[in-house]
Amino acid sequence: MKREWILEKNHISYWLRQLRKDRDLVGPLRNEGKDVVFMTVEQIHEVVLDLPASLPSPKEFLFPQYESMLRFNVSGKVPVAGPGAKTVSPGACVECSREGDLLDLADRRRRLVFGVRSCDVSAVRLLDRFFLEGFRDPYYEQRRKNILFVSIVCNNPDPTCFCIGLGTGPYLEEGFDIQLTDLGDRYFVQASSAEGIRTVKDMSFLFRRPRKADLDDQYEVFLSAKARFHKRISLESSRRAILEGRVKDSFWRRVTERCFECGGCVYECPLCTCFTVADRRYPDAVERIRLWDTCLFKGFTRMAGGILPNGKRMLRTKRWFYHKLVHYPEVFDEFGCVGCGRCAVTCPGRIDMATIATEMKGLDLDGSEQRP
């Protein structure tokens, strides 16, 4: 169920200010280095609305790079001082349930992430399936329950973007919380999730019903957005090329020569979920943390005795692409890529999804099949 309204631009600061009262408002801000990054918004007028370049993925708000999972108190007391206490963040600990000596540090902060892109929202939908179907990841679940995304229809895709070929952007028909389309002097507001609809309705006096002219303008933005993509990539033709055996190992070897093993593609990917878990022993407590990891590192699957099932870098590069292009469609019926282009921004060797898919296109002779 999708509901639609119009919000005058004059009203957006007021709206955000009200939303901020019971949520941490995170939005794109320009900082000292002239980059635009997602941060807690202090001054609402500083929010950068015409998102000029691709941003780090909002995955970090659901699945942060460094996350405290639990703290086991060795001394039997809740740490109040000393090295133990310094690592329990006051914000996270206010509500933490205490069972015996185990401190569960799941983050229950309410967040509103403003200004994400449609591809990010599509990615979160897939992340939900990974983290919440079957085994439910409690840390992800807590954060997910408390987060609301306001996405913006992209009318200025980066040269690296290719969501248009995947149906994950530049705008969405459904599956978002709140989606804004910039119509110049006003926003076309759509809410799809229950929480999204409630959030708009709570302040219904700011919104009005859309008229025919608004709908026409919105359609025009959609058309213009679709026309602006530099990259037109069908991952299906890559998938076909792989499944039909046209991509030989020599191809992957050549690709892998350019891999710097930085892990950037995985860290930046809004869909990658590799993590590692480590225990850190403090004088009076043990803390379990989880950290982003990547399957592109040989040690990720190291077995006892130092055996490396994927010791060759080529095998790991191949696995990453296979996972996104072949296994994802098998398991989730969708590609493990939303075309956000972040790997293209971050890969020092320029062997990102778009580049490789383009190269594989040459290997695929019949690109006429349907998407899975």
Partner 1 sequence: MNKILSVCPYCGCGCGLYIHVEDGRITGVSPSRTHPVNRGSLCVKGWNAHEFVAHPDRLETPLIRDAGGFRRATWNEALTLIAERLEGIRAEHGPDSIGVLSSAKCTNEENFLMMKFARAVLGTNNIDHCARLCHSSTVGGLAAAFGSGAMTNSISEIADASLLFVIGSNTTEQHPMIAMHMLAAVDRGATLIVADPRRTQIAEFAHIHLRHRSGTDVALLMGIMNVIVGEGLVDADFVRRRTENFDSFAEELKRFTPAAVEEITGVKANDIRRVARVYAMEKRSMLFYAMGITQHITGVDNVRACANLVMLSGHIGLPMSGINPLRGQNNVQGACDMGALPNVYSGYQKVADPRARRKFERAWRKRLPAAPGLTIMEMMEAARAGRLRAMYVMGENPLLSDPDINHVREAIERMEFLVVQDIFPNETSELADVILPAASFAEKEGTFTNTERRVQLIRRAVAPVGEAMPDGDIICALAARMGYSMSYRGAYEVMEEIALLTPSYGGILHHRLSEGFGLQWPCPDSSHPGTPYLHRKKFAKGLGTFIQVDFLPPDEPPDDDFPFLLTTGRLYFHYHTGTMCRRTAVLEREEPECLVEINPADAERLGLKDRSVVRVTSRRGAIEPRVLVTSRVPEGTVFIPFHFIEAAANVLTNPAMDPGAKIPEYKVCAVRLEKIRT
The answer to the question of residue 276 lying near partner 1 (CB under 8 A) is: yes
* Count helices and strands in the chain by DSSP H and E runs: 14, 13
Is 50 one of the binding residues for partner 1 (CB under 8 A)? no
Burial category of 173 from C-beta neighbours within 10 Å (exposed 0-12, middle 13-18, buried 19 and up): exposed
Q: Who contacts 190 (Cβ-Cβ below 8 Å, separation ≥6)? A: 2, 3, 4, 5, 176, 178, 179, 180, 181
Q: Least distance to partner 1 from the beta carbon of 233, Å? A: 20
* 306 touches partner 1 by CB under 8 A: yes
CA pair distance 158, 240, nearest whole angstrom: 27
**Binder among 15, 38, 229, 328 for partner 1 (CB under 8 A):** 38
Contacts of 280 (CB under 8 A, 6+ apart): 286, 287, 288, 289
Residue among 10 and 40 whose Cβ is closer to partner 1: 40
Q: Is 53 in the site for partner 1 (CB under 8 A)?
A: yes
347 binds partner 1, rule: CB under 8 A:
yes
Distance CA 41, CA 46 (A): 8
Least distance from partner 1 to the Cβ atom of residue 127, Å? 17
Told to check if 10 binds partner 1 by CB under 8 A, we report no
Helix (H, G, I), strand (E, B) or coil at 78: coil
Tell whether residue 270 is a contact of partner 1 (CB under 8 A): no
With CB under 8 A as the contact rule, the residue among 48, 49, 64, 322 that binds partner 1 is 64
What does 96-161 look like in DSSP terms, one character per residue? Answer: --EETTEEE------EEEEEEEHHHHHHHHHHHHHHHSSS--HHHHHHHHTEEEEEE--SS--TT-
| Minimum CB distance to partner 1, residue 8 (Å) | 29
Q: Is 259 left (phi over 0), alpha (psi -120 to 50) or beta?
A: beta
Question: Given the complex with partner 1, which of 25 and 241 has the nearer CB atom?
Answer: 25
Cα angle for residues 202, 205, 209 (degrees, 5° grid):
100
Among residues 309, 348, 367, 372, the one that binds partner 1 under rule CB under 8 A: 348
List CB contacts of 22: < 8 A, sequence separation 6 or more: 110
- Residue 32 in contact with partner 1, rule: CB under 8 A: yes
- ∠ CA 19-58-53 to the nearest 5 degrees? 100
Q: C-beta of 213: minimal distance to partner 1 in Å?
A: 37
Kindly tell me which residue out of 31, 248, 309, 367 binds partner 1, with binding defined by CB under 8 A.
31
Q: Minimum distance between the CB of residue 353 and partner 1, rounded to whole angstroms?
A: 15
Shortest separation between residue 224's beta carbon and partner 1, angstroms: 25
Among 37, 215, 243, 331, binds partner 1 (CB under 8 A): 37
Least distance (Å) from partner 1 to the CB of residue 318?
A: 18
Q: Which of these, 181, 212, 312, 305, lies nearest to 256 by C-alpha position?
A: 312
Prior bond of 170 cis (ω within 30°): yes
Answer for which of 5, 15, 61, 131 binds partner 1 (CB under 8 A) is: 61
| Interaction of residue 257 with partner 1, rule CB under 8 A | yes
The CB-of-289 to partner 1 minimum distance in angstroms stands at 8
Applying CB under 8 A, which residues contact partner 1?
24, 26, 31-35, 37-40, 53-54, 56, 60-61, 64-68, 83, 86-87, 89-92, 257-258, 260-264, 267, 276, 278, 280-283, 291-294, 297-300, 302, 306, 345-350
